Amino acid sequence: MTLHLVMVGPPGAGKGTQAKQLAKAYQLAHLSTGDMFRDQVARHTELGKLVDPIMKSGGLVPDDLTVAIVRDRLQQPDCTSGVVFDGFPRTVAQAQALDALLHEMGASIALVPCITVNDEAVVERISGRYTDRNTGQIYHLKFNPPPAGADLFQRPDDQEAAVRQRLQEYYRKTEPLIAYYQQRGVLQQFDGMQSIDDVFSAIDQAIRQL
C-alpha cells in the first residue's frame, strides 16, 4: 500500500519528530518544503534558480512554485512507498493543489494526523530553546538544561513575542486545513501533550486501522 500522510498542528507540537519516526517505521520519504527548496537550489535546477532569490530575501515562495517543486520531488524513487508531508500544505489552496497533484498520480492522502497542543505549552516549548554558540547544540531551559558556563543565544523567532505571533499566523492561515481535511474524512486528532512515544503509538495504531 502506498501511504501518504500530512502532519498538521501548531508550531512546537512535535510534527517534525513524529514525521521522522513515521517515515522510518513505514519506509516513507519525509518531505518538508524547506528541505525540498534547499535541494533544488543545491542542484542548480531551473526551479532552484527561481526559488533561491526568494529564500535569500526572506520572502514566501508562491504556491505555484511550491507545488511544482513538490511535483518534482514526488517523482523521485524514494517516494514510491509513500511520503510524510511535514510543513506542507500550509493553506487550503496548497491542500487543494496537492490533492489534484496526487489524483494525477493515482494516489490520495490516507491520513492527516493533527497534533493538538495548547498555546501556553507551545510558548513554553519554543521560548525555552537556546543554542550554544560554540557547539551549535540546542538546549531547553526546562526540559534539557544546558551545562554551566555554556555561551547561549536565542533565535529571534524562538522569543516569546515571536512565538505568539507564529501561533496567530498558524490560526489564520493553517488551521482552516483542519476543517478541509475533516470534510474529506481523513483527519484524526492526537493529544500532543502526551509523551513522544505515546503520540507515535496512537498515530501508528490509526495507520494500522486504515
Residue 46 inside a domain? The answer is: yes
The question of whether 172 is a catalytic residue gets the answer no
Find the catalytic residue in 56, 73, 166, 173. 166
Q: Residue 110 is part of a domain; what is its CATH number? A: 3.40.50.300
Alpha-carbon dihedral angle through residues 195, 197, 200, 205, given to the nearest 10 degrees: -110
Q: Pick the catalytic residue: 24, 56, 90, 208?
A: 90
pTM equals 0.89
pLDDT of residue 173: 86
Whether 129 is catalytic = yes
Residue 182 lies in a domain: yes
pLDDT band at 58 (very low <50, low <70, confident <90, very high): confident
The parent domain of residue 43 ranges over 3-117+175-205
- Give the pLDDT confidence score for residue 153 in this predicted structure: 94
Q: Are 83 and 168 in contact (CB under 8 A)?
A: no
Q: By C-alpha distance, which of 167, 181, 172 is closest to 13?
A: 167
Q: Which of 133, 155, 172, 184 is catalytic?
A: 155
Number of domains in the chain: 1
Place of cell 526551479: 47
